[in-house]
Structure 1
Amino acid sequence: MSLFIASLNSGSNGNCYYIGNDKEAILIDAGISCRETERRMQRLGLSMQKVKAIFVSHEHSDHINGIAVLSRKYRLPVYITPATLQSSGLSLERELVFSFKAYEPVTIGSITISAFPKFHDAAHAHSFNITCSQVTVGVFTDIGMACKHLTEHFAKCHAAFLEANYDEDMLERGRYPYHLKRRIRGGLGHLSNTQALEVFLTHRPAFMSHLFLAHLSKDNNDPNLVHELFSRHAGETEIIVASRFVETAVYHISGSFAPTEKPVNIIAERTQVQFSLF
């Protein structure tokens, strides 16, 4: 059984990632509204009825804004650590709250979700590997440094969402105050394009078919720049930039390396939209 994956939104205005098979799916974070999540999934031909749970990486608003309404409307379990829940201010129904621990896998149907800690300025931040029938997809955003946890899990992935938040020169020359620049490029902030590229070049497995560049800064990065940077080194791995304005296509991750495979999208005419809005 393979996995179907899409970014519904990726950036400081909201993050939400869909990973599922033919029967069930999960969301990693839900930082856009319930209504917008529904609209984007409908445009992709994805059903909310397949979504069985939401996993929360950390408590920052761009990762949790839609969770309370989505959970209540669809009776979705929310997997969240106690420290993250306490810091989030989320009002969730008690019976829909479930805790998880790093390196203790959670099974949702035939999907297994494994969390591991990351460096970020949040109460108890985690990244995730999602596996189904030996196919693994990673969600790695909001990362201050490429630690051993990240690189070991990245090396297991057939596809991954990897943060490439900022271009170093754009951040340095940009309008942000010094304290914010220091926070972004500090060890608890975000990965730069160069740092993300080093992870990709050093730890990419030979079987990685797709890489989604995620959580790009609106002010300190450029989608065309980062796509070109990674494409020069990508070989047969397909590079997709996850937008902060629109959902990506749905991609079929089969685990068998097929570099010529195209995005799976029930509404075929959307296949060519994803880069035109950047």
Structure 2
Amino acid sequence: MPLHITSLNSGSNGNCYYIGNETEAVLVDAGISCRETEKRMRRLGLSMAKVRAIFISHEHSDHIRGVAVLARKYSLPVYITPTTLYSCGLRHENLEVVSFLPHEEVAVGRLSITAFPKRHDATDPHSFIVACEGVKVGVFTDIGSPCDQLIRYFQQCHAAFLEANYDEGLLEQGRYPYHLKNRIRGGKGHLSNRQALALFAAYKPDFMSHILLAHLSKDNNNPQLVKDLFSLHANGTQVVVASRYEESAVYSITGSGSFPAMPVQIPDAAPVKGIQIPGVQTSLFDW
């Protein structure tokens, strides 16, 4: 059974990702208004009646702005860690709030959702894998630096939303104050194009059909630049840039190939350094 995926919005102005099969779906983050979420889903031919839950990655406003209204209107459970719930100040009266633990599967109908910690300047941030009958889609945004866990899960994905937030040159030369530049590139902010490409080129499984580049900076990146960069290393994977202004198309993800053998022990979230992109003369994941 395929998984249908779309980015309803991706960027510092709001993030919301839809992943579902023919009968049920989940939203990862709800950073745009309920009205805008509904409007964009209607344009895509998607129904809120299929959405069964919202999963929240962390407490920043561009990930939670629409969650309360959306969850109340459609009686949706909100999966969120207790620490994130406390930090975001979400008024959760009349909300069904459900906590989750890292690396433990949550069943939503036939969907299986697994969270794992990420490096970001939030209290308890998590990335997610959504799976159904062997098909896996990852949501990997707001990541300050790659870690072993990110690599482990990325290698299992048939498709992924992957952050490519900023071009290092554009950030350095741009108008942001020095402290904000350091926050973005300091290891708990966002992934650069270079870091994201290193992960993609070195660890993309042969069966990955789609990569949706997400959370691009308005001021410090360029959609065509990053698409061209990733396309050079795509090797058959469709490269899509998720917009901060509109929804993407809906993509159907099917399973093919086999997953690599993975060790049983789950490592900590230490950053990974010194990875080389094939064909690119540079050492990556350095900070």
Q: Same fold (TM over 0.5)?
A: yes
| Shift in Å, 1:255 | 1.2
Contact 2:5 2:253 in 1 (8 A): yes
Determine the structure 2 residue equivalent to 1:222.
222
Deviation sequence 1:214-246 (CA, Å, 0-9, x none) = 000000000000000000111100000000000
In structure 2, stretches of 5+ residues that fail to align are 258-287
| Shift in Å, 1:2 | 1.2
SS of equivalent to 2:244: coil
Determine the structure 2 residue equivalent to 1:112.
112
Q: How does 1:5-20 map to 2 (within 5 A)?
A: 5-20=5-20
Please, which moves more after superposition, 109-118 or 86-95?
A: 86-95
| Shift in Å, 1:186 | 0.6
Contact 2:78 2:95 in 1 (8 A): no
Determine the structure 2 residue equivalent to 1:62.
62
SS of equivalent to 1:17: strand
1: CA distance, partners of 2:4 / 2:92: 28
Q: How does 1:24-63 map to 2 (within 5 A)?
A: 24-63=24-63
In structure 1, stretches of 5+ residues that fail to align are 258-278
Determine the structure 1 residue equivalent to 2:194.
194
Deviation sequence 1:32-69 (CA, Å, 0-9, x none) = 00000000000000000000000000000000000000
1: CA distance, partners of 2:154 / 2:35: 32
1: CA distance, partners of 2:53 / 2:184: 30
Which segments of structure 1 move beyond 4 Å, counting only runs of 4 or more? Answer: none
| TM-score under structure 1 length normalisation | 0.91
SS of equivalent to 1:165: coil
Q: Does 1:176 pair with 2:168?
A: no
Contact 1:142 1:190 in 2 (8 A): yes
| TM-score under structure 2 length normalisation | 0.89
Q: How many residues align?
A: 257
Contact 2:102 2:116 in 1 (8 A): yes
2: CA distance, partners of 1:102 / 1:37: 27
2: CA distance, partners of 1:158 / 1:28: 17
Determine the structure 2 residue equivalent to 1:234.
234
Q: Does 1:100 pair with 2:115?
A: no
| Shift in Å, 1:95 | 5.4
SS of equivalent to 1:218: coil
Determine the structure 1 residue equivalent to 2:209.
209
Contact 2:72 2:95 in 1 (8 A): no
Determine the structure 2 residue equivalent to 1:142.
142
Question: Structure 1 residues 219, 95: CA separation in 2 closer, same or farther (over 3 Å shift)?
Answer: closer
| Shift in Å, 1:93 | 3.2
Letter in 1 for 2:176: Y
2: CA distance, partners of 1:92 / 1:6: 27
Contact 1:72 1:93 in 2 (8 A): no
1: CA distance, partners of 2:128 / 2:222: 26
Deviation sequence 1:191-220 (CA, Å, 0-9, x none) = 000000000011111100000000000000
2: CA distance, partners of 1:69 / 1:253: 30
Q: How does 1:229-268 map to 2 (within 5 A)?
A: 229-256=229-256
